[in-house]
Chains A and B, each alone.
Chain A
Amino acid sequence: MLRYLARRLLWAVPVLLTATTCAFLVLHLIPGDPVNLMLSGRPASEKVRANLRAKLGLDRPLAGQYLYFVTHAAVGDFGQSFATGQPVGQVIAQQLPASLQLAGGGFLIGVVAGLLLGIAAGFYPNTTIDGMAMLIALVGISMPGYWTAMLLIYFFGLKLGWVPIVGAGLPVLILPSIVVGSFAIGNLARLVRSSIIEVRGEDYVRTARAKGLPERLVVLRHALRNALFPVVAMMGLLLGLFVGGGVITETVFARQGVGALLVTSILTKDYPVVQALILFTTAAYVFANVLVDVLYGVLDPRVRYR
């Protein structure tokens, strides 16, 4: 098990190194002088410019700059935001709780609804239940997230007034969570369905039935348990959907959060924040995937020895 864990963690190293290099290069690949961006058009003397350049580390050779960036990034130091002058770490930390709440709400709704739909469709394939569940899944996959959000705001927030769309507290979280969850529902439901159909044809399910086990136990103890392995494997991918979902949902609902911060930073060319967010999000995604793989290895010992 330790060997397996080590192998998975080792896989994360090149990804994170690439992410670091990409983040570093962002500031160097953009057309124009970063100092001009930092000054955002204000006139400045050559001395001020030279000072800024030194402060950004841009007066060093490229290799030195890279080393500086990596060593500082490793301890979470990304410099200051061009826009506010605050340390970048602080800017992100302020936005993080809102994003985590949203991701949590979305995960709960997406996974519960996706599982239920997939299980229902998988155990009654080619019936009306299956048809309805797969229709919902198709709609979930095909609806643009921002459009789902706007329709929900319009009907449940503005027309019916059932849920608040601004303010604080749990009720405000309902609609955004549904939107983030909807990114996962369709994919998950389809996966669970096909996985259950496959497992139901397996010999061990037939054996369980043949030995006279009640259908309820066959389903719970034998079919469902094995059918859910691919779902666990997909959890890491779901996190990617939640990252994307967060970017869009936070923008539509005008919520605080890391996703909205990323979009604003790209639009306002606040590159230190962009760099930090690229690294931060990728690192979170990579480690979540490692965690999922390890969990998968714990659940299914066959995986570890592959």
Chain B
Amino acid sequence: MASDPIAVPAGPAQLGSRRGILAALGRARRYPVASLAALALFLVAAAAALAPAASPYDPSAMATGPALSPPGGPHLFGTDRYGRDVLSRVLYGARISMPVGLLAVSFSAVTGSLLGLATGFFGGSVDTVGSGVIDIMLGFPPIMLALLVIAVLGVGLQNVVIAVGVGGIPRFARIVRGTALSIRENVYIEAGYALGASRARLILRHVLPNVMPPIIVLATLYIGSAILDTSSLGFLGLGVQPPTPEWGTMLSEGREFMRYAPWLMFFPGMMVFVTVVAINLVGDHLRAALDPRLQGR
């Protein structure tokens, strides 16, 4: 396969070159949907990063124009009841939803993976107790775990991350445990033991790298639902609090004016939808690429 050195896929170092770009475009043409989704995702990320420069107004400045003015003119997405610019608020909203979604998933992935690694690798009583915890957590309806966290910790940005993340822990733990169980039986782990490697070293250097692919796939699939959950909590008034421009919170504010100012609910909802669709498409593509069994399906 690698007999011809030119046929080696373009690595990061080549990306800047003309051939690298052409190769990337060629690959993009083969997967048009996934490429489009990746582009959309890039644009949302860019909106988050460049919000201060890209937004025409301060997102919390009131009376930037007449209240509830429809989209068009100086306010491309219209204004809300306080005369705040909806476009600016939507752009700034990406700075909340994306990081909160990512943080929540990181929280579930790290905690869940640790639990899964410990139960899968050590086995015995650690596995019995750990698997019990995983099963019990899976026994709760996911939203209940989130609401339980909010009920105890109260509303606010930081608590939303924990609330949204908690539901994901058992899902990561279960997958990692299963993978770790099978990896533990490999000869190279036995060899590691024979060479006198510590358990920590075995887990970190030999088991962890092998359980990474399923963790990455699950994480990409989970980010979309984490962003949905974050915005849902915001919508219910249990998440990020106004006047912070979070998409779910904006939608909840726009609900009262649905009849007269539908743009207040249209644009934030569209942003959540586009972001989550893009993430799900990229995630599906990644899963298909990493899991050969899914190919051709």
Contacts and interface: CB of A to CB of B under 8 A. Distances in A.
A125 interface: yes
A205 interface: no
A150 B255 contact: yes
Nearest to A19: B140
B141 A26 contact: no
Question: Which secondary structure dominates where chain B touches chain A?
Answer: helix
B136 A244 contact: no
Contact of A18 (B136, B150, B237): B136
Interface in A21-36: 22, 25-26, 29-31
Given A26-B151, A194-B297, A281 B273 contact: no
Contact of A263 (B154, B224, B236, B265): B236
Contacts of B143: 240, 243-244, 247
A150 B141 contact: no
Nearest to B276: A142
Contacts, number: 124
B273 A143 contact: yes
Interface stretch (B42-50, B187-195, B205-213, B227-235): B227-235
B16 interface: no
B200 interface: no
A267 B238 contact: yes
Contacts of A144: 228, 231-232, 235, 248, 251, 269, 272-273, 276
B133 to A, nearest CB: 9
Interface stretch (A53-61, A106-114, A226-234, A282-290): A282-290
Contacts of A139: 277
Interface string A283-303: 001100100000000000000
User: What band does the interface of chain B fall in when counting residues whose beta carbon is under 8 Å from A?
Assistant: 35 or more
A285 B148 contact: no
B140 A282 contact: yes
Nearest to B140: A282
Contacts of A11: 135
Given A147-B269, A240-B141, 15 more contacts: A15-B135, A29-B152, A125-B297, A146-B252, A147-B251, A150-B269, A240-B142, A244-B141, A244-B142, A248-B235, A248-B236, A266-B147, A266-B238, A267-B238, A278-B148
Interface of A: 11-12, 14-15, 18-19, 22, 25-26, 29-31, 125, 138-139, 141-147, 150-151, 153-154, 158, 194, 197, 239-240, 243-244, 247-248, 251-252, 262-263, 266-267, 271, 274, 278, 281-282, 285-286, 289
- Ranked nearest first, the 9 interchain pairs of A and B with the lowest CB-CB distance are A15-B139, A147-B269, A244-B143, A240-B141, A142-B277, A142-B276, A243-B141, A29-B152, A285-B141
30 contacts: A11-B135, A14-B135, A15-B140, A19-B140, A26-B152, A30-B152, A138-B281, A143-B273, A144-B228, A144-B231, A144-B232, A144-B273, A146-B235, A147-B272, A150-B255, A150-B269, A154-B262, A239-B141, A243-B141, A243-B143, A244-B141, A247-B147, A248-B235, A263-B237, A266-B150, A266-B238, A267-B237, A274-B151, A281-B141, A282-B141
